[in-house]
Chain A
Amino acid sequence: MTPLEALWPAQEFEVAVRFGGEEVVVAATGEVDLLTAPHLSVVVTAVAARGPAVVILDLGAVTFMDAAGLRIIARGAEQLTRRGGRLVLRAPSRLVGRLLEITGLEAVVEIEGPLESSHHLGIRPPPTTAVAPLPPGLAHHLRRVTAVPAGHDVIDGALRLMLAMACLVVERADGASVSLNRRGRLTTVAATDPTVSSMDDDQYAVGEGPCVDASKTGRQFHSGPLQQETRWPGFVPNALDLGIKAILSTPLVTGDRPVGAINMYSRTAPAFDARDLDLAEGVAAEVSRLLTHGGVGVSDDDVGERLDEALRTRDVIAQAQGILMERERVSAHQAYASLRRSSVHQNRTFAELAAELVASAAPRAGPETVSPGA
């Protein structure tokens, strides 16, 4: 058993390929995520490279897919169409179908077979309590979406997936968006459809609205039935014109600062209820975790400064290692471990100890130094 298998028990994941005339079927079973996606990717790439007319990616037995899987679909479709072929997705589950819709991939691939399948997300509404956590299955799925390398475009992709899931969880929500404070201005970084992002834009333009208030104050804001809403007079009439009946904005917080909001809009329900508010808080917590994980909310200047400082410290540590290696006749690793143990025992930072060591090894002023007045 490799160390990797010992740590992460084999998922029930399989890929099978069937060649038949003009058509190749790649059937996947199990969960397509960060660990298993590479296997699927290699197979799809190899199959597409043979230049078949049609590749059918059978997803009927795929129980979970995140951004990694969507990337494979996008790349496979691109490879095939370049050669005049096409990619067909067979029987994606409801969740996968919705994700394809949200990310716009459904325009790039054909979908065959029933979108409704027997796969359930296992979402049961939680009992309403003061702090309602997300249904465990959903929190698990949302967290797995965050297991992707950080990078703005990837985070935006992950945000879009989370919005798709948010709309599934908060049933009254017909659309959702994430607004973030970027360089002092609120911007919509992800939205389930253009109407929703244009509503965000309206709020930004007049500086008024539940999204603006949520991202400024760090509190959740929701409208009653919009017709009777008296707050935000600069914004509500536009929303009503667009057919919106209710709005809910929940702040996103990294560290202790609000950095934006996740907004939900309803075209059908008169208002969001207490349970929706709780569920939205749960979703916002997961989105905030994703943003914290991605290092969002830290200015470029801060990072630059931190990096400079880190480089200087690193340099001092390397010098300290060198001094110890010379003095004690030990390896770099041993020198490092010795410094680290001292740091733990004396309860002082590694950097401090290293700096002290380097300073103590600096040449002292010699007897040839002439003191004034001598």
Chain B
Amino acid sequence: MPERTRYSLDRSRQRAGLSHGELFLRYFELGGMSNALQVEAFCYGAQVPTDHDHDVVAHALNERFTELGNNHPVPYSEDRY
């Protein structure tokens, strides 16, 4: 994974104004199967998520961004390669 994607999930989370707890709830609601600590680890880049997990987190963030008036700024796995 290229250097510039390091921490980008966490930067998106901060721009979306979501705490880790809130992000996890949205992720969980969308059917995510990892636990809260793992999701936090994904955000910090301390653990590499599967493409599926990455996409669930990305979608949770994008739905929040939609609430804020943005249009799905966080890329999904298929958009990155």
Contact = CB atoms under 8 A, between A and B. Distances in A.
A298 to B, nearest CB: 7
Chain B binding surface SS class: helix
Interface in A218-251: none
A2 B62 CA distance: 29
A285 B8 CA distance: 21
Contact of B31 (A147, A150, A317): A317
Given A3-B1, A295-B22, A336-B52, A8 B28 contact: no
A310 interface: yes
Nearest to A310: B29
Contacts, number: 73
Interface string B11-45: 00000000111100100111100001100100011
A7 interface: yes
Contacts of A7: 1, 6, 45-46, 48
A309 interface: yes
B31 A340 contact: no
A8 B42 CA distance: 12
B55 A351 contact: no
Contacts of A8: 6, 45-46
Interface residues on A, range: 35 or more
A306 to B, nearest CB: 6
A298 B72 contact: no
A21 interface: no
B30 A350 contact: yes
Among A7, A254, A349, which residue has the most Cβ atoms of chain B within 10 A?
Answer: A7
A90 B45 CA distance: 33
Residue with the greatest number of chain A CB neighbours at <10 A, chosen from B21, B46, B63, B72: B21
Nearest to A348: B66
Interface in A115-154: 147, 149-150
Contacts of B1: 3, 6-7
A340 B63 contact: no
A38 to B, nearest CB: 11
Given A6-B1, A8-B46, A347-B66, A149 B29 contact: no
A343 interface: yes
A344 B30 CA distance: 14
Given A310-B29, A317-B30, A318-B31, A337 B46 contact: no
Contact of A336 (B21, B31, B62, B71): B31
A6 B55 CA distance: 20
B44 to A, nearest CB: 6
Interface string B54-81: 0100010011001000011000100000
Nearest to A306: B25
A147 B1 CA distance: 22
A309 B62 contact: no
Contacts of A149: 37, 40
Interface of A: 3-4, 6-8, 34-35, 147, 149-150, 254, 292-295, 298, 306-307, 309-310, 313-314, 317-318, 321, 333, 336-337, 340, 343-344, 347, 349-351
10 contacts: A150-B20, A294-B20, A295-B22, A298-B21, A306-B25, A313-B29, A313-B30, A314-B28, A314-B29, A343-B59
